[in-house]
Amino acid sequence: MTSDNRVGPPAFGSERDMLRAFLDYHRATLAMKCEGLTDEELRRQSMPPSTLSLLGLVRHLAEVERTWFRRVFEDGEAPMVWSDKVDFQAAYDASRSTRQEAFTAWQAEVETSRRIEREAASLDQAGYQPRWQQEVSLRMVMTHVLLEYGRHNGHADFLREGIDGSVGA
């Protein structure tokens, strides 16, 4: 079982405070879903043909953070974390990865994303999304990344239940 030390989002607040709080809540949810598991358990795949694992999700979300914050607002040419090209599927292959490696990369990207968000003048701050070849706002990026976490935390729920029966938010 996992402990739930997440801080829930406030019931009231500015748009920016809400987006920030919900994003941090979902980041904490991913970490909670991985809590207390061995590297082997974190690498356990769901079911063929899927290669999805909790560690793969952590690796994938490190790429998401990098792609949507660092590459959009700071360096459109920043290399991906797990592949030589923009290949989100490469991150799912956690067969030789460890908790330390994956979480170190993910946490570094989360901290970079938080810094970029804090330093932005407003949610209307524009950045350039290289894959889409267009400008996007910080508001759009935060919403997109929040939706990525929501989708993948649903996967994490099922993966964790398959490992040790733990269920819940």
Q: Domain of 97: which CATH number?
A: 1.20.120.450
Are 153 and 33 in contact by the 8 Å Cβ rule? The answer is yes
Helix ranges (H only) for the chain are: 15-34, 39-43, 54-65, 71-73, 88-92, 99-119, 138-164
**Residue 63, in any domain of the structure:** yes
State pLDDT tens for residues 1-52: 567 888 889 899 999 999 999 999 999 999 999 999 999 999 999 888 888 9
Q: What is the SS3 assignment for 36? A: coil
Question: ∠ CA 7-12-18 to the nearest 5 degrees?
Answer: 60
For the full predicted model, state whether its pTM sits above 0.85.
yes
**Residue 90, in any domain of the structure:** yes
Q: What token pair was written down for 2?
A: 């996992």
**Residue 48, in any domain of the structure:** yes
Q: What token pair was written down for 17?
A: 């405070």
Are 77 and 84 in contact by the 8 Å Cβ rule? The answer is no
**Residue 22, in any domain of the structure:** yes
Q: Per the structure, how many domains does the chain have?
A: 1
**Residue 2, in any domain of the structure:** no
**Residue 7, in any domain of the structure:** no
What per-residue confidence (pLDDT) applies to 49? 84
**Residue 21, in any domain of the structure:** yes
Tell me which amino acid residue 72 is.
V
**Residue 8, in any domain of the structure:** no
Question: ∠ CA 19-70-101 to the nearest 5 degrees?
Answer: 95
What per-residue confidence (pLDDT) applies to 25? 96
- Which residue segment(s) compose the domain that 23 sits in? 15-164
Q: Tell me the average pLDDT across 150-169.
A: 90
